[in-house]
Amino acid sequence: MDRTTYAIDNSAILYLALMRKRHTNVYRFTMTLKHMVDPVLLQQAVDRTYKRFPTIIAGFRPDFFQYTMVPAAAAPIVRPDPGCLITMTAEEIRTCAYRIYYSGRDISLEAFHAVTDGYGAIASFTTLVAEYLRLRHHMDIPVCQTLRSLEEAPQVHELEDSYLSRQAGKPLHLPSRYAYQLPGQYRESLVHTCARSYPTASVVAAAKKQGVSMTALLSGVMASSIMEVQKRHRQRLRPVRIMVPVDLRRMFESTTLRNFILYALPTMEPGEEKLPLRELLRRFHAQMREQLDPKRMASIMAYNVRGQASVFFRMIPRAVKCAVMRLVYKYFGESNSSITLTNLGNVTFPEEMSPHVEGMQCILTPRAGSPYNCAVIAASGNLTVTLSRFPHRPELEDVFFGKLEEVLAA
């Protein structure tokens, strides 16, 4: 077994610093098949797959100055699904921050965000499910952009830290600005979800009718919904900012399977709740186009990695670095936005695999300081929107889905 280790990327540094005993940034992907899952064959598929993704099916070894990514020494053991996102233990973070569950017709992946972003998770997960289907149905499934070949070794371009190789220009620091925080906070590990699916074509058509991108449509409706909730609780309104993760691979011609995302932060200002929704959506579309300028993104990366690469940062003990980053993030990070809304796009499968897949869902762990997060994914002709929250009185769900369905019906 190759025990090559890897330096952690810029996103992993933050996720590792922010993890707590009772809260880690874990996400879940679930693929629903058209037959009951055989756990024995699923374990065989995991055994055949895990070495292909050494920077995803991996753990993080804590040293005095830093963490180091270490590929898992053995394949993860598939387990019955406990039914909700569960905080990862210190042992899981250290050895293998990647879980596989099964339940009925569902196969689920849960991963700590420090190992990879949505792109890498989908690549590893769809490759695993394809291998399971090969074993289950004795069928050939060709390699495509979504699936990786198990016959080849991990490729150098898949393992690179693209934050370091693609950053350029004068470092750009984005000032923090306090945004409205939804009421409620982390109390226990149980996560509640509310998911609704819509024909992908109808959402695409609605966005086209409004003259905006699908992500601008969803984030604008989300901002309008959060502003409505805010008005129930406050007289003096604060800005609503939606944190929208952006996959940088197309922008910078990268095929890395490690983290490679930054964020757009479209904002709805107090007073804009009086605007027609069409106008708000167009403002969000314009903000996102402006913020996603490649030169701007390269400069933000340059700012983010500058500290990571400095000798001073490297010489600070790991425990001190993590404590300082947690403190800074508490006051200037999470408070900078009202919710995360990640749109993972349309996941496509080879023709041979598609008849066996009914759909996909993604769930984000809610934030520690506010109760909600939102994930969107399209597969098999349907777009599934999932709101996740920690236990408290549900409030955002009905407002958001009601507004979204009004837009889709218009």
CA dihedral 335→404→383→213, nearest 10 degrees, is: -70
For the record, the structure tokens of 250 come out as: 């197309």
- Rounded Cα distance between 180 and 237, Å, is 8
- Rounded Cα distance between 374 and 389, Å, is 9
Residues composing the chain: 410
**DSSP character for 31?**
E
DSSP string, 251-263: HHT---SS--EEE
For the record, the structure tokens of 154 come out as: 């991990």
For the record, the structure tokens of 242 come out as: 């939606």
What's the whole-model pTM score? 0.94
pLDDT tens per residue across all 410 residues of the chain: 456 899 999 999 999 988 887 788 999 999 999 999 999 999 999 999 999 999 999 999 999 989 999 999 999 999 999 987 888 999 999 999 999 999 999 999 999 999 999 999 999 999 999 999 999 999 999 888 788 999 999 999 999 999 989 888 888 888 888 999 988 766 566 788 999 999 999 999 999 999 999 999 999 999 999 999 999 988 899 999 999 999 999 999 999 999 999 999 999 999 999 999 999 999 999 999 999 999 999 999 998 888 777 777 888 898 898 888 887 777 667 789 999 999 999 999 999 999 999 999 999 998 877 789 999 999 999 999 999 988 677 889 999 999 999 999 98
First to last CA, the chain: 57
Burial class (CB within 10 angstroms; exposed 0-12, middle 13-18, buried 19+) of 116: buried
Strand partners, 288: none
- Rounded Cα distance between 139 and 250, Å, is 32
User: What residues have CB less than 8 Å from 186, skipping those under 6 apart?
Assistant: 22, 23, 366, 367, 368, 369, 371, 390
In a 13 Å sphere around the CA of 200, the CA atoms on its Cβ side amount to 17
Cβ atoms of residues 360 and 232 within 8 Å: no
